[in-house]
Structure 1
Amino acid sequence: MTTSAPKTAILYRMVMPDHVCPYGLKARHLLKAKGYAIDDRRLETRAETDAFKAEYGVQTTPQSFIDGERIGGYDDLRRFFGKNVRDSKATSYTPVVAVFGMTALMALGLSQAALGTPLTVRAAMWFVSLSMCVLALLKLQDIESFSSMFLGYDLLGCRWVPYAYVYPFAEGAAGLLMTAGVFRWLSVPVALLIGGIGAVSVFKAVYVDRRDIKCACVGGSSRVPLGFVSLTENVMMVAIAVWMATQR
């Protein structure tokens, strides 16, 4: 009975006292997952790294070799194994799914803790208000980037630039007050104002002017397209404000 020779790969990666290349770790993990025995060759100094790059004519590490052939870096290795490689410039709804998925679970958990059951009207209200808080947090991480993207389509912001800086604070404050169920006289008008202006702005930009632009809803660096999701976010804000206004 004959046994096939084990699959082997050579991996060059930076492992320095002040920096361990994360893509090197990912490449090593991927090779192991694919059943390769790895000749792990560490580049432990800047001089070793520069000499390796010069020898092989490459600009980056890690670099992997299989059967004497250079495969390349981590993305190249993923392509070699038929895996998808993320395009940092591609449109993505992942940030929106992550935000709304987490806030929905938070609302259900809060309802369970406070009311003894997750499925309540209050849970729906908390879902919207918590979403407002988290979305405001994302905007405030880089308010300059957010404001620049926001001014590209918001009707009030185009006429009064400071509104782009006020918006995330107003959204976060309204969401927090709605979650706590206090000062409705303040949170309801604020949510109606920013949600209403936002809904009209998105509708005009997307469905009237037919513009293909990105939404600032999850921050200024997002690749989420301005469209149905953005409109729904603003409509939900208005709806919850109207609902709270009718409650005693």
Structure 2
Amino acid sequence: MKQTYTVEGMTCEGCKASVTKHLSQIKGVTEVSVHLEKAEATVVSEKPLVISTLKEALPSKYTISEKNIFKENTNTVTTEVQNKEGKSKLQQLKPLFLIFLFIALIDGAMNYPQFKTQALMLDFMGLFFMVFSLFKLFDLKGFSSSFAMYDPLAKMVPPYGFVYPFIEVGLGILFLMRIAIPGLLIITLVVLSITTIGVTRSLLGKRSIQCACLGTVLDLPMTQATFIENAVMIVMALVMIFGWV
């Protein structure tokens, strides 16, 4: 069942992430989509929800009220709407692909004319961490709230979400400086594996959550964007660890 509510009190992306997080934790809720500008929250649940349950789930600074009646059988959405949603996801992933492209171009320019595979991969990983941490730092609070929605460690230890971007900065600098590479590769695998576990759980639970890999600056579909990001880095780390290059 699908219901759209009016949510008052949201003023920034951090608020959007907070509302999404708290509503997603309600039992029976399978998907939450929050629109900051419209001050709306659309909730898909297994059964009708009582408005008091939603109010109790949200922090006191937010006021939530019903906007329209429940809509059953959400799977019967028209083909036209489904196509629009599909295009929307592809369009949302476009910034991620562009960032990868520009990182690759900078990486190539830095290593011209040798183009040694190991050096290319290390520089790519370093640039990747530096660029992605920058986007997170634009809205550290918003990132932390979004990240805690699916990263298991950030859920258990909230301060980890605030520290995570700085971990990426450190990894990026050390990769570019070629310092303690074996240790950095292991840390990369551990950190990204933890996030991947959370993404997998969200995917299996069919939950729609904003990706926090680029902070709250860009609205990316979490599962696709995070899997693409993690897959690239995990494969590179494994290749380097096992000396396949």
- Structure 1 residue 220, shift from structure 2 partner: 1.8
2:222 maps to which of 219, 226, 232: 226
* Alignment correspondent of 2:60: none
- Structure 1 residue 101, shift from structure 2 partner: 1.5
- Structure 1 residue 134, shift from structure 2 partner: 0.4
- Structure 1 residue 159, shift from structure 2 partner: 0.9
- TM-score (normalizing by structure 2): 0.57
Structure 2 gap segments, 5+ residues each: 1-87
1:184 maps to which of 171, 181, 200: 181
* Aligned 8 A contact 1:128 1:236 in 2: no
* Alignment correspondent of 1:205: 202
Report % sequence identity. Answer: 28
- Structure 1 residue 94, shift from structure 2 partner: 3.3
d(CA) in 2 for partners of 1:160, 1:101: 34
* Aligned 8 A contact 1:128 1:237 in 2: yes
Instruction: Please give the per-residue CA displacement for 1:163-216, whole angstroms capped at 9, x wherever unaligned.
Output: 11111111221122122211225422321221111111112212x111111101
Aligned length: 155
Instruction: Please give the per-residue CA displacement for 1:71-105, whole angstroms capped at 9, x wherever unaligned.
Output: xxxxxxxxxxxxxxxxxxx6522331232111010
Question: Is residue 126 from structure 1 mapped to residue 105 from structure 2 by the alignment?
Answer: no
Corresponding letter in the other structure for 1:163: Y
Q: Helix, strand or coil: the match of 1:191?
A: helix
Structure 1 gap segments, 5+ residues each: 1-89
Question: Is residue 149 from structure 1 mapped to residue 146 from structure 2 by the alignment?
Answer: yes
C-alpha distance 141-229 of structure 1, shift in aligned 2 (>3 A): same
Q: Helix, strand or coil: the match of 2:226?
A: helix
d(CA) in 2 for partners of 1:118, 1:244: 16
Bigger mean CA offset, 171-180 vs 159-168: 171-180
Q: Helix, strand or coil: the match of 2:222?
A: coil
* Alignment correspondent of 2:111: 111
Which is higher, the Rg of structure 1 or of structure 2?
A: 1
d(CA) in 2 for partners of 1:134, 1:119: 22
d(CA) in 2 for partners of 1:236, 1:178: 16
Moved over 4 A (4+): none
CA RMSD of aligned residues (A): 2.2
- TM-score (normalizing by structure 1): 0.57
